Structure 1
Amino acid sequence: MLHFELVTPEKLVRSESVYMVTVPGTEGDFGVLEGHAPFMSTIRDGDVLIQRSEKGEAERIAIRGGFAEVTAKGLTILAEQAG
């Protein structure tokens, strides 16, 4: 499972283990699974799609601006606004 955190300047919005997260990057959407290579991207306004299981329906969270970073520990999204 992928460790995923969604953080805004005000609070930690999410911190959980999920199957996959799709992020609205400024160069296009990208999906992150467990074991993804280290990566950093700016993000555009849009929806983060969170899948808790491989066949599960994605939950959408609207975000505005920020950065996404993939490390060996997982995916962290630092968004200007979320929700």
Structure 2
Amino acid sequence: MADLKFELVTPERLVMSDDVYMVVVPGTEGQSGILAGHAPYMTTLRDGELAVYRTAGSQPERIPVTGGFAEVSENGLTVLAESAGT
């Protein structure tokens, strides 16, 4: 399967921009696993952790986020968070 283009951005900086396997997003309506080819989608974020899987079967890199939203488009997944720590 093709890689998912993923960007995590805060008002202060670009936190991550990479091709990854999957990202689990903490949406206000529940968690969503996003893979390459996902249908267009938008959700607001709840405070929690993004789980970034760089390859299939790998352990996730967990990034705490607060507020913001996530959008899936034909260009990939963009998460615009109020804050993100690594």
Shorter-chain TM range is over 0.9
Shift of 1:41: 0.4
Shift of 1:29: 0.4
- Structure 1 residues without counterparts, runs of 5 or longer: none
TM-score of the superposed pair, with normalisation by structure 2: 0.96
TM-align CA RMSD: 0.3
Where does structure 1 differ by over 4 angstroms across 4 or more consecutive aligned residues? Answer: none
> Which whole-Å CA distance do the structure 1 matches of 2:55 and 2:80 have between them?
23
TM-score of the superposed pair, with normalisation by structure 1: 0.99
Give the corresponding residue for 2:61: 59
Q: Give 1:2-81 correspondences, 5 Å limit.
A: 2-81=4-83
Which amino acid is 1:76 matched to? T
* Number of equivalences: 83
Of all paired residues, the percent bearing the same amino acid is 60
